[in-house]
């Protein structure tokens, strides 16, 4: 659906005390509600575009789909006004997904749990990744991710106001790249695309994010089965603990052929 993703506004640009009026491109940010089998699950602020992927990816990451088949994804079909209809996405599983009560009490990154409880909640529904089944990436390939991703970030090039997430193949190929005002939304869009394509678990891929790696990012990567998470900036302490619990290789500060490996923990000798 051709929703507007960029707006142009007139701004005053000041350079060396000189002022001039000039057009500037701004990223669009709008709310989007996600429904599962008719039940409203959440509302998130996002950049319009790839909305179906965002909805499916969020539901998958939160464990709300389980093994249920996604039978239909559509914009609001419940009689909402036209101006809001494209800000409501309904995912259908023909009732195969867990019951509504389970969805409404599902653990999310904003539920207020402490760090250790957050990880414990994840381990109740997610198994640590099998190291024999995840692809290991060459360090030189990992270090090239930011450079390889930059050429795909069209919205960032126009506005400078969005995050990017990408699924990379072991050869450095970009399998899927998405941008959004929310880093977590960009990841959900990637995960949603892979789920809709039947490409999960993503054990042969690495997840790249253009900013820091938070607990939420690692949580989504774990749910999707990524064996590696690579971020341009630093991870949080809870993200490191979560990656170690999951068996995910967590790499941060990737730039100019250098990076830090935060997980798994490898004692020096």
Catalytic machinery residues: 111
- How far apart CA 47 and CA 59 sit, in angstroms, is 18
- Integer angstrom CA distances of residue 255 from 140, 147, 211, 232, 234: 11, 9, 12, 7, 12
CA 111 to chain centroid, in Å, comes to 18
- How far apart CA 142 and CA 150 sit, in angstroms, is 14
Q: Which two tokens stand for residue 60?
A: 């998958």
Angle between helices 115-123 and 215-224 (to 10 degrees): 10
Q: Which two tokens stand for residue 126?
A: 């997610």
- How far apart CA 155 and CA 180 sit, in angstroms, is 8
- How far apart CA 79 and CA 18 sit, in angstroms, is 52
CB neighbours of 240 closer than 8 A, spacing ≥ 6? 250, 262, 263
- 3-state SS class at 12: strand
Strands 163-168, 174-180: pairing kind: antiparallel
């Amino acid at each position: 659906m051709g929703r507007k993703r960029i707006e142009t506004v007139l701004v005053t640009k000041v350079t060396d005390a000189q002022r001039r009026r000039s057009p500037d491109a701004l990223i669009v940010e709008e709310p989007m509600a996600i429904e599962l089998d008719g039940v409203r699950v959440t509302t998130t602020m996002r950049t319009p575009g790839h909305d179906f992927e965002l909805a499916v990816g969020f539901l998958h990451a939160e464990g709300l789909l389980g093994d249920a088949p996604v039978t239909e994804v559509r914009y609001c079909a419940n009689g909402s006004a036209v101006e809001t209809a494209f800000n409501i996405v309904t995912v259908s599983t023909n009732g195969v997904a867990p019951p509504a009560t389970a969805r409404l009490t599902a653990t999310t990154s904003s539920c207020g749990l402490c760090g250790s409880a957050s990880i414990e909640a994840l381990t109740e529904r997610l198994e640590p990744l099998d190291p024999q089944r995840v692809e290991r990436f060459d360090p030189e390939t990992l270090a090239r991710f930011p450079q390889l991703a930059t050429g795909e970030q069209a919205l960032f090039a126009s506005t400078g106001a969005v995050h990017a997430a990408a699924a990379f193949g072991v050869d450095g190929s970009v399998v899927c790249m998405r941008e959004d005002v929310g880093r977590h939304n960009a990841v959900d869009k990637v995960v949603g695309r892979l789920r809709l394509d039947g490409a999960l678990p993503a054990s042969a891929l690495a997840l790249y994010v253009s900013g820091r790696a938070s607990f939420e990012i690692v949580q989504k990567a774990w749910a999707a089965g990524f064996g590696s998470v690579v971020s341009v900036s630093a991870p949080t302490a809870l993200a490191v603990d979560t990656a170690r619990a999951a068996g995910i290789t967590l790499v941060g500060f990737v730039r100019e052929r250098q990076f830090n490996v935060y997980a798994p923990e490898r004692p020096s000798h």
